[in-house]
């Protein structure tokens, strides 16, 4: 008596064992199928998993939007501070030149006496 194993084929009275990994498919539809043994709990788990992925992606999108708006706000604040610092630097330069003028004037006045 001949034993049959999964993947065995009978051709011309000879048995031949097939390796499932070496099966070549002409059409992808003939290779990929959902077995009737897949339970509803597995399908439900996949749907819950997919829903969790969409929820996580939505939360991530909200975080990115929040960070982008904060970044724009910080850029505006930095720009304002840079302008203010530039004005203060110009004032310091002006004060420095005024102090030099005062020192020169005092030196001349003290030199004349």
State the DSSP H helix or E strand holding residue 91, giving kind and residue range, or none if neither. helix 40-112
End-to-end Cα spacing for the chain: 135
Q: Cα separation of 69 and 63, whole Å? A: 10
Of 78, 55, 58, the residue nearest 66 (C-alpha):
58
List the chain pLDDT tens, one digit each, 113 residues.
445 445 545 555 555 555 544 556 666 556 666 666 778 888 899 999 999 999 999 999 999 999 999 999 999 999 999 999 999 999 999 999 999 999 999 998 888 76
The model's pTM: 0.42
Q: What is the pLDDT of residue 109?
A: 87
Q: What is the pLDDT of residue 27?
A: 62
Of 42, 90, 30, the residue nearest 82 (C-alpha):
90
Please check whether residue 57 is in contact with residue 65, taking contact to mean a CB–CB distance below 8 angstroms.
Answer: no
Parallel, antiparallel or unpaired: strands 14-17 and 8-11:
antiparallel
User: Under 8 Å CB-to-CB from 7, ≥6 apart: which residues?
Assistant: 17, 18, 19, 20
């Amino acid at each position: 008596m001949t034993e049959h194993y999964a993947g065995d084929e009978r051709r011309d009275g000879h048995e031949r064992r097939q390796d499932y990994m070496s099966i070549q498919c002409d059409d992808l539809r003939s290779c990929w199928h959902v077995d009737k043994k897949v339970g509803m709990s597995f399908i439900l788990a996949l749907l819950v998993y997919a829903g969790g992925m969409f929820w996580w992606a939505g939360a991530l999108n909200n975080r990115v939007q929040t960070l982008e708006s904060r970044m724009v706000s910080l850029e505006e604040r930095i720009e304002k501070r840079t302008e203010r610092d530039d004005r203060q630097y110009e004032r310091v330069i002006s004060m420095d030149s005024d102090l030099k003028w005062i020192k020169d004037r005092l030196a001349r006045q003290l030199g004349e006496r």
